[in-house]
Amino acid sequence: MSTATDARRARVLRAIVADYISSQEPVGSKSLVERYNLGVSSATIRNDMAVLESEGFITQPHASSGRVPTEKAYRSFVDSIHDVKPLSRPERRAILSFLEEGVDLEDVLRRAVQLLSQLTRQAAVVQMPMLQVSRVKHCEVVLLSPVRLLLVLITDTGRVEQRNVELEEIIEPEQVAQLRDALNRALGNHTLSDASVALADLASHAPREIRLPVIACATVLIETLVEAPSDRLILAGASNLSRARGDFPQGLPEVLEALEEQVVVLKLLSNVHDLGSVRVSIGGEHEDSELKHTSLVATGYGTGERLGGMGVMGPTYMDYSGTMSKVQAVASYVSRVLTGE
């Protein structure tokens, strides 16, 4: 087979994918001839389509219908996208202006997923900064009752975590201040994954008068933040998926349930390791069966190091090129806002 024939069939395949993404209707050879300047006859295109079908790139839903792309076709299409088209200057300016109005980290990230869901008309997700890489900026200790404390942990990424601590004995207000100072000395500028040693050492050598509350606080922090960090997910635009209800054979509820469970999506977002790179997972490439008729376009965001991931989930016929461009742009501007650039 000649290189020219291979190149033409690749163009035919890209045209079929683009046509189906645009219309969600089976694509026939006649429409390809009319809409794309492929430089060959209808008979040649029909022959190319027959070869593409035999190779598993397209399939025919009904005997008299046109062809629709398979997951193999979408993967080939995505892999052929070498340069993500940048957004226009007005689009970039609008995105940055909207994100800069965020009052704190969580507000910026909520704005980011709202933007992505509106720009792509799909479901958008973002992972709060991973606690493993966040450094403790301050630990506030609030006296709720004589035997109950509230720990408020603030990280350098702006993430805030709260934990209740039940005490075995009454604690005095002056001891609360002493406890706060001790915890901040131990935790200050440590990542939570590194803080376990400092907390254990603090519990062993704390002054006698605050030994028990220190042990109680250290235990809660280690068990709930260090050993089992809870990465949270912010979701927007799930209702957009209802437009593609018929394209999820297992039913839309299963897809929504997977989104709400968070663990499945967090695992997918965690697979994006490098800032600036966009990863696309298509259909059966997902380990979880609930998502085998969806695609996820995701990337990372951060302040020099990766803090988390964000992306867009939708049916496998989504506009990959446009979605990749928008996900990359929003993540880039979130990173700029977080670094204050």
Which tens digit of pLDDT belongs to each residue from 231-267? Answer: 678 889 888 887 765 565 555 677 777 777 777 787 7
Confidence bin at 282 (pLDDT 50/70/90): very high
Confidence bin at 150 (pLDDT 50/70/90): very high
- Phi-psi category of residue 159: left, alpha or beta, with phi > 0 → left and psi -120 to 50 → alpha: beta
**pTM of the shown model:** 0.75
What per-residue confidence (pLDDT) applies to 292? 81
Span 50-68, mean pLDDT? Answer: 87
Pick the CATH number of 136-226 from 3.40.50.2300, 3.20.20.80, 3.30.390.60, 3.30.465.10: 3.30.390.60
Q: Where in the chain is the domain with CATH 3.30.390.60?
A: 136-226
- Phi-psi category of residue 48: left, alpha or beta, with phi > 0 → left and psi -120 to 50 → alpha: alpha
CB atoms within 10 A of CB 323: 25
Q: Give the end-to-end CA distance of the chain in Å, rounded to a whole number.
A: 53
Separation of CA 200 from chain center: 34
Mean per-residue pLDDT of the chain: 85
Res. 89: pLDDT tops 90: no
Per the model's pLDDT, the better-predicted residue between 187 and 258 turns out to be 187
What are 92-140's pLDDT values in tens digits?
A: 889 999 999 988 888 999 999 999 999 999 999 998 876 666 788 899 9
Q: Where in the chain is the domain with CATH 1.10.10.10?
A: 3-79
Structure tokens at 72: 């193999």
Q: Which helix (H) or strand (E) holds 175?
A: helix 173-187
Res. 194: pLDDT tops 70: yes
What per-residue confidence (pLDDT) applies to 257? 76
Q: Where in the chain is the domain with CATH 3.30.450.40?
A: 89-129+231-339
Confidence bin at 74 (pLDDT 50/70/90): very high
What per-residue confidence (pLDDT) applies to 216? 92
Compute the distance between CA of residue 99 and CA of residue 20 in angstroms, rounded to an integer.
33
What per-residue confidence (pLDDT) applies to 212? 92
What per-residue confidence (pLDDT) applies to 52? 93
Q: Report yes or no: 67 and 35 within 8 Å, Cβ to Cβ.
A: no
What per-residue confidence (pLDDT) applies to 2? 61
Least confident range of 78-87, 202-211, 317-326: 78-87
What are 2-39's pLDDT values in tens digits?
A: 687 888 889 899 999 989 988 888 888 888 888 887 77
Q: Report yes or no: 195 and 217 within 8 Å, Cβ to Cβ.
A: no
What per-residue confidence (pLDDT) applies to 242? 76
Based on DSSP, count helices (H) and strands (E) in the chain, helices before strands.
Answer: 12, 10
What CATH architecture applies to the domain 3-79? Orthogonal Bundle (1.10)
Minimal CA–CA distance to 17: which of 62, 65, 72, 54? 72
Structure tokens at 82: 């070498």
What per-residue confidence (pLDDT) applies to 1? 47
Res. 192: pLDDT tops 80: no
Question: For the structural domain made of 89-129+231-339, what CATH number should be given?
Answer: 3.30.450.40
List phi, psi (to 5°) of 163: -140, 135
Q: What percent of the chain has pLDDT over 90?
A: 34
Query: Tokens 């609360």, residue?
Result: 176
